[in-house]
Structures are given as C-alpha cells and as structure tokens.
Chain A
C-alpha cells in the first residue's frame, strides 16, 4: 500500500526559509492529488494553511506557500517566526474517494 511521506523533523532559523515536502512511497505527487497542508500546535485542532496545492486558506499570511516541487508537494515558509514552530501535516487524495495524511513534520524554529 502506498503511503504519504513527510520529513519527521525539520529546523529553521528565525527569519529563514524552509521547504517541507510531501511525497509518496511509490510514485509522484501531482496536482491531481489535491495536496493540502495543515498546521497544528499542541492541544489545538489543525489549522488549514493550503488547499488545492497552492491556494492559501482565509487569513493565512502569504509567507506560507504551496507548490509541486519535482515529485513532491511542498510547503514553503519564508521569514520563519517563532510561532511557526508546530507540526505540519499534508493530505493527499489517493483516488476512489480515499484520502491519506502524511505522518507529519515537527518544525523547530531556533
């Protein structure tokens, strides 16, 4: 069974730029997987950042952007801030009505 892959951990310096990726254990992610991205801090519900590959959800600052990079979906954060320190999850449409989350990336800002 194909699984959705994400980097388990990542770190970025304050003010820096980081790109998190979302891939497949077999195959390449394209726009037809409708990748979306969610931010979650401990004890809170997920917050939608990006849907449909690159559309920012309402109220999400433009330093968050989504794209397809090579074989993966990507979430890029520019000008990282301390409160960007969170878990980030991607979600892909696998076909036949089935959706699958990646395992999540724990982002540290230091």
Chain B
C-alpha cells in the first residue's frame, strides 16, 4: 500500500518561494509518475504538474513560469517549488501517484492527506 505525506512550511510570505516535499512509502518512486495538485479555499482541484523519476516533467501552462517539480536524490521524495507567491497561491497542496501501464498514465490511484499553505505578508 503506497502512502504519501506532504510536508513543508504552513505559512509563506508574499513574493517568496513555497517549497513542499512529498514523502513516499510502501512503494518505489522509480516507477510511474508523481504529481502535485492544489485546492484554493472553497474552490476546485487544480493540476500543478507531474514528474517521472527519469526527469520527464510537465507543468500546468498557467503556472509554468513559477513552478519546479523534481525527484529528490533519495528517491523516496519528490518536491514542489513555487516562486513569487501571492495570496492567490494560498491552498491545500496534495501530492498524488499516477496509475500507469507501460508508461501510459490513466489517473491517480493514491493521494496524500494534503498540506495547507497560507501566503501572507
């Protein structure tokens, strides 16, 4: 049973960089694709981007200029960095694992519990 856990600061100052880590247990990060999703208060889910351990990465076009997703060298974590944050980036951030067959992904099968990040001056 794969388990994912988000961690990082719950409060980030306006214009600074938001950094979160997703720790993976019960499975290998050296397979499938891994993703970050966020949900602003009272709003719907927003796909941020995804990463494969080989380094293949895709980002939401609306966030591409500010976001970086990477796999840690430990191969048990992957991370999210979002620069120049504003109040609009206040959200619960989820990490998730894709279900993939032969490198074709078909949706998420596992989710983290989510981490609330508040952006404030």
Which residues of A are in contact with B by a Cβ distance under 8 Å? 34-36, 38, 40, 45-48, 50-52, 55, 57-58, 87, 89, 91, 93, 96-104
Contact between A93 and B109 (Cβ–Cβ < 8 Å)?
Answer: no
Q: Which residues of A contact B113 (CB under 8 A)?
A: 45
Contact between A36 and B108 (Cβ–Cβ < 8 Å)?
Answer: yes
Bound complex: CA A48 to CA B109 (Å) = 6
How far is the CB of A94 from the nearest CB of chain B, in Å? 10
The number of residue pairs between A and B whose CB atoms lie closer than 8 Å in the complex comes to 69
Identify the closest chain B residue to A51 (Cβ): B107
Interface size on B, residues (CB 8 A): 25
Question: Which B5-60 residues have a C-beta within 8 angstroms of A?
Answer: 35, 37, 44-47, 50, 56-58, 60
Which residues of B are in contact with A by a Cβ distance under 8 Å? 35, 37, 44-47, 50, 56-58, 60-61, 94, 99, 104-114
Q: Which residues of A contact B105 (CB under 8 A)?
A: 34, 93
